[in-house]
Chain A
Amino acid sequence: MTPIGSRPPSVDTTALRKVQPRFSGIESGHGACQGCGQALAARLVLEAAGPDVIVANATGCLEIFTTPWPQSAWTVPWIHSLFENAAAVAAGIEVALRAQGRTTRVLAFAGDGGTFDIGFQALSGMLERNHDVLFVCFDNEAYMNTGVQRSGSTPHGAWTNTSPAGRVRQGKRHFKKDLLAIIAAHGIPYAATASVAYPSDLRAKVRRALDVSGPSFLLLHSPCPLGWGHDSALTISVDRLAVETGLFPILEMERGHVVGSMKIRNPRPVHEYALPQFRFRHLLAETPEAREELEHLQALADANIERYGLLSDAPGPRDSGGADTVRRGGSRWG
């Protein structure tokens, strides 16, 4: 047993960072929690998008933890205005760049609060006006920045501070808003969902979204260890289960039509997803109410699998079992 990872004293990490073979749009030293899914997700999106972008960021964790005044973790132009107007700000930048004849791409970043609820109106307007912007929603399924309050994205049965679990209610009573269906209704060229557990798929979708002209939308599931109540080491494992249970379907849409999905090679029962998460743990209690709600959650997962035809007929390189298979020397990531 030889520990070889302790940084050799001779290694100059500042120099090493300059020769990394991937672009880093968010630098180290940001204040995200340990194991933050959103910090990882935002870095992966920018790795795929490259340096020639401008980011308009809604209020939220990402905005807070990357910009501890007077510092910034961003290495690309970045602007924050308000919670509700990331799409509007991005639209304005896009129009200005177009007027100047520049090809820099515009990204809008927001959490699920800034997308599903507070920023929804601006988003809908941006899509309707056909702005050439990629809007990325980092979906951690509650208002985490303000202390874990329910959002329109919080799934059914999940505990939050404003959807507590007790004798009367088993967590959130309502369902997760089917935002993708609303996005589809705008008939935009490209919309997709992705998960931090499948970075190769995520990167391909960012590149595809930037390849189309006109509005595109990416719903990016990114676990929050603090708000979901799981171990910080389990961010990827938990999100893989979100996909493999069917609770978070991985889809691609062109002009509102579902044109592709990540098939599930080995579907997992929802209790495996619930087990490591505090927000679902009450569903595992030995009470009739908990059992019923867990079955309800399973039924919602099954309904997703049925609706989008997520079951795999034969193992393939792009299904949930193949999309993250490792290759020696890292060639998988492309």
Chain B
Amino acid sequence: MGIDKERPASSVRVNAGGFALPGTSRMNHTGSWRLERPLYVTSPSPCHGACPAHEEIPVYLDHLAMDRPRQAWEALVAANPLPAVTGRVCPHPCETACHRGSYDTAVSIHSAERFLGDMALREGWPYPGLDGDQREEAVAVVGAGPSGLSCAYHLRRVGYRVTLFEALPEAGGTCRIIPDYRLPAEILSREVERILATGIDFRPGQKLGREISLEELEEGFSAVFLAPGRQKNRIYSVDHALPGDLHHGLDLLWEWRNVGSLPRWDRAVVVGGGNTAVDLARTLLRTGSREVHVVTDEELPGLPSPTGRGAMPAIAREVAMALEEGVRIHTGRRIGRLILREERVIAVELLHALKEIEGQTPVHRAFSGTETILETDAVIPAVGQEVDPAGIERLLGNRTFLSLLPTGQVEGETRIFAGGDACPGGGIVSQAVGSGHHGARRIDALLRQKTLSPESPPSPIPFTSLNLAYFEERPAYVPRERHGEARTGFSEIETTGPADEIRTEADRCFSCGHCLECDNCWTLCPDGAVLRTAGIPGIPVPYVFDYDYCKGCGLCAQECPSGHIRMSPEP
């Protein structure tokens, strides 16, 4: 019924009678107008950028918010096999970085992490993606702390045979001495056991430099990952004076874990500003010591520090709780002299002091003429540990830590990698987990003869890329904690939140740089050039752009709440 108009370059049919057929405008490919094209681009979220274990936080929070906890946990353990542990003990730099913190209150990411970790233990979910031994090569991992466990786990995920050596009878490393009120021993044991059950050949009681040697490992394995931690107490003395019954802080924490009793002092002085000092001070108060003092030349953590003075490296929240519980913290003080009577300390002399941060190296200063006396029964140094050089003398040289190449190997080595506290920059569990994962990836690259480009830290999507018009202020989940009398024992202080509240909290996530599937782009395109694909098999993304018709107006990118759409110049 149509007639061809005389337009040779076109196959347009003109209908006699003054009407047009429906939807025929699609002959016009208006996409040719476009100068810029929109792209769906997944960018790193600030929480991911800040997470030392490189968790894809928006991904698992999205699953959790959509009531898919198992998928959430599987996305979480793709990076971190110890979520019930890190959900409890990590100082969560992710929450400090969270863009929601610049809007109302940061998402309580650690609450979601521990919730998922606990749920997986309760439900007995197995780790996903473990398909046995696809790889011929065997890898040795030394040290079954969080770094070694993480490395072994991630090597198992890509199918390597892994032998894990540990000097102590049990795996867990320094996590074992974290007090039960922060991390119940049972939680740690269950997550550790689940990792060991992934087919790792676990050899406890095997210490490097004692039962095994580096040379044997190099001989018997394709690659070696060293995660020995820091086991040697830093030498402590004040002008070479030492009490006869000196206990080191870390040793006392081990004693509490292994023996279950500690001396009871009327007044104990713990020296140091780190987590060991704070954990020990709080443990001593719980085990019958009457007064516990902490002496450090640093400031309290978490304060604005215009003076450039160093803050205690202990987790700010733990320090605050220690103060609540009655630990007396003397900041800006140093012990100038131990006052001994027949090898027993009866008092210490305190001086005003400070630690200044000048460039990389801290400078410690003390000021004479400011001395005061603090009577005490015990002085307990908790001034840090060093790498035990036994068995790795060749690698350490005259250094006190293992220095790494950008490709993950120990300097001067090709098949020996390292991670955890034995390397610079360690200190928190999630960093150890991250370094183990990193080591596993580097080992895999070496053994597959793949070249991995040096990893640059992800640059997170800026706050200004979000469209805040699409979000509303919502009250944040506040973790429940024990207070007052309820906090004098070793029961856990913080509790795991209820499912509905944690799911609601996960839904507060802005999903920075990730797709929320909110339908904005699909709904708001004036040209109908965004098509929804969710649920259609074979298309992995929820929407596609139809570039035949997209005119490049940029509206979708502007109205994307989470900054997941970017405009890019037309090629």
Contacts and interface: CB of A to CB of B under 8 A. Distances in A.
A204 interface: no
Interface string A1-40: 1111111101101001101110010111111101111011
B127 interface: no
B25 interface: yes
Contact of B555 (A67, A236, A327, A328): A236
A11 B540 CA distance: 11
Contact of A40 (B526, B538, B544): B526
Nearest to B20: A72
B24 interface: yes
A309 interface: no
A35 B555 contact: yes
B296 to A, nearest CB: 43
Contact of B548 (A6, A13, A232, A236): A13
Contact of A35 (B22, B526, B545): B526
Contacts of A151: none
Given A40-B526, A43-B526, A72 B552 contact: no
B553 A35 contact: yes
Contact of A70 (B12, B42, B472, B548): B12
A13 B546 contact: yes
A222 B497 CA distance: 46
Contacts of B553: 34-35, 225, 232-233, 235
B119 interface: no
Q: Which of B38, B511, B548, B557 has most A Cβ within 10 Å? A: B548
B520 A75 contact: no
Given A70-B14, A236-B524, A333 B519 contact: yes
Given A232-B553, A325-B471, A73 B25 contact: yes
B541 A4 contact: yes
B261 interface: no
Contacts of B539: 8, 11
B531 A328 contact: no
A111 interface: no
Nearest to A319: B472
Given A13-B546, A16-B544, A28 B527 contact: yes
Interface residues of B, number: 74
Interface in B86-113: none
| Secondary structure class of chain A's binding surface, majority of residues | loop
A315 B472 CA distance: 9
A34 B40 contact: no
Given A13-B544, A68-B25, A31 B30 contact: yes
A326 B516 contact: yes
Contact of A5 (B14, B523, B555, B565): B565
B245 interface: no
Contact of A330 (B24, B65, B518, B526): B518
A234 B558 contact: yes
A66 interface: yes
Contact of B42 (A1, A21, A73, A74): A1
B536 interface: yes
Given A325-B470, A326-B561, A4 B555 contact: no
B527 to A, nearest CB: 6
Nearest to B43: A1
A302 interface: no
A231 B567 CA distance: 14
B65 A328 contact: yes
B279 interface: no
B42 A30 contact: no
Contacts of B546: 7, 13, 28
Chain A to chain B: the 8 pairs with minimum beta-carbon distance, closest first? A233-B554, A5-B40, A330-B519, A29-B25, A72-B20, A73-B25, A28-B549, A34-B553
Given A8-B544, A28-B528, A330-B518, 18 more contacts: A5-B541, A10-B538, A16-B533, A16-B536, A27-B26, A27-B528, A29-B26, A31-B30, A32-B527, A34-B554, A71-B25, A71-B27, A74-B23, A233-B553, A325-B470, A328-B65, A329-B66, A329-B517
